[in-house]
A and B are shown apart, each in its own frame.
Chain A
Amino acid sequence: GNSVTQMEGPVTLSEEAFLTINCTYTATGYPSLFWYVQYPGEGLQLLLKATKADDKGSNKGFEATYRKETTSFHLEKGSVQVSDSAVYFCALRGSFQKLVFGTGTRLLVSP
């Protein structure tokens, strides 16, 4: 079945550092890929998505590129802020199938 593996956290960074959160997937066919963010006490929000190979999703300075050859969708940001502290979830969805989430990676950014 479909599955998502993402790096364990927490990831601890200083403000303005570069961020990478790794995500790899296993799926049949050509799934869509997503990153969701969960701020403390809130539900998940869609951060960005990519629907086909080589697509780059981007939002709020975050980027991720759909790499079919490496089955990866790593999340990156060039300069993190304290307000980016949250839990980040990688997810995939096969055609007309339900979302499958990774276990989440907590990001802690200190001033």
Chain B
Amino acid sequence: DAGVIQSPRHEVTEMGQEVTLRCKPISGHNSLFWYRQTMMRGLELLIYFNNNVPIDDSGMPEDRFSAKMPNASFSTLKIQPSEPRDSAVYFCASSPQGLVYEQYFGPGTRLTVT
């Protein structure tokens, strides 16, 4: 079975541009998580969905960030406008159901904002 799929793997953009990161969770998993990894702050949970509904978005840094999950097999994380401090690796993870079960991580998207 395919694991969590993320695209693109690398993204370089200029400050002020819109960035959209994409994630396809493992088929049959009902929960999806977006994380951000930086040297300064480590790995932080930004938002998670259960059955396509956002449950906890308290980790979203500010209004420039938004996440959607229009169906069970696709989610996006959008940054608009992007800033250099948004440069990080963004991971998507999925689990069978909620917080209790093991999370399976995608390979990440490395975002560089110049």
Tell me the bound Cα distance from A44 to B36 in angstroms.
Answer: 12
* Given known A43-B4, A97-B99, contact A104–B105 (CB-CB < 8 A): no
Tell me the bound Cα distance from A31 to B103 in angstroms.
Answer: 16
Tell me the bound Cα distance from A44 to B43 in angstroms.
Answer: 10
* Given known A96-B99, A98-B56, contact A43–B108 (CB-CB < 8 A): yes
Interface assignment of B45: CB less than 8 Å from any CB of chain A? yes
Contact at B102–A46, with CB atoms within 8 Å?
A: yes
* Main DSSP-derived SS at the A contact region: loop
* Given known A43-B4, A43-B91, contact A98–B107 (CB-CB < 8 A): no
CB distance from B34 to the nearest CB of A (A): 12
Within 8 A of A (CB), among B64-114: 91, 93, 98-100, 102-103, 105-108
CB distance from B1 to the nearest CB of A (A): 15
